[in-house]
Amino acid sequence: MGRKIKKGTKGAASQYITRSNAIRKLQLTLQDFRRLCILKGIYPREPKRKLEGSDKTYFHVKDLKILEHDTLLQKFMDIKAHLKKYKALQGKKQYQRAEELKEVAPRYTLSHVIKERYPTFIDALRDLDDALCLIALFANFPQH
């Protein structure tokens, strides 16, 4: 006769979230979400029990916390806001101001992502052999 626990709020089921819910939580488009996941090296995971169905893609909540606090997310939002301003000026036929705004468009750099992945030069060198092996593999493939 205790309190009923709502399904999916406790245990392993609460540790995973679907891709659509993750996109809604981060306020991103699917394209930006995919780009951010690739850059940060975050991949979908298979939970033991799928709460919302077996045809969904699930991400771990801790991975999404990492994405929430990344500077790339803020840059993507800045670029999106800048594009809205640019399109609004073009819609008002203020082409001169639109071109001035286009010149000061926000850009993002991936230097901090590279520093996270390879903190030292030796780490980067260790990973370089994988890239060279991949290039050699593609070179050995037939042309057709």
pLDDT above 90 (res 84): yes
Rg of the chain over all Cα atoms, to the nearest angstrom: 21
Residues above pLDDT 70, as percent of the chain: 98
At 14, is the pLDDT very low, low, confident or very high (cuts 50, 70, 90)? Answer: confident
Q: For residue 17, give every residue at least 6 positions away whose Cβ sits within 8 Å of its Cβ, in sequence order, or none.
A: 25, 58, 59, 61, 64
At 75, is the pLDDT very low, low, confident or very high (cuts 50, 70, 90)? Answer: very high
* C-alpha to C-alpha distance for 106 and 9, rounded to whole angstroms: 39
Q: For residue 40, give every residue at least 6 positions away whose Cβ sits within 8 Å of its Cβ, in sequence order, or none.
A: 66, 67, 70, 72, 113
User: Average pLDDT for residues 92-121, to the nearest whole number?
Assistant: 90
- The backbone region for 98, taken as left when phi is positive above 0, alpha when psi lies in -120 to 50, beta otherwise, is alpha
User: Average pLDDT for residues 120-143, to the nearest whole number?
Assistant: 82
Query: Phi/psi of residue 16, each to 5°?
Result: -125, 150
At 1, is the pLDDT very low, low, confident or very high (cuts 50, 70, 90)? Answer: low
The token pair that represents 18 in the structure block = 């679907």
Structure confidence at residue 100 (pLDDT): 92
- Higher pLDDT: 72 or 128? It is 72
Query: What is the tens place of the pLDDT at every residue in 58-74?
Result: 999 999 999 999 899 99
The token pair that represents 120 in the structure block = 């030292």
Secondary structure class of 53 (helix, strand, coil): coil
pLDDT above 90 (res 78): yes
User: Average pLDDT for residues 11-29, to the nearest whole number?
Assistant: 88
Structure confidence at residue 32 (pLDDT): 92
**Cβ atoms < 10 Å from Cβ of 97:** 13
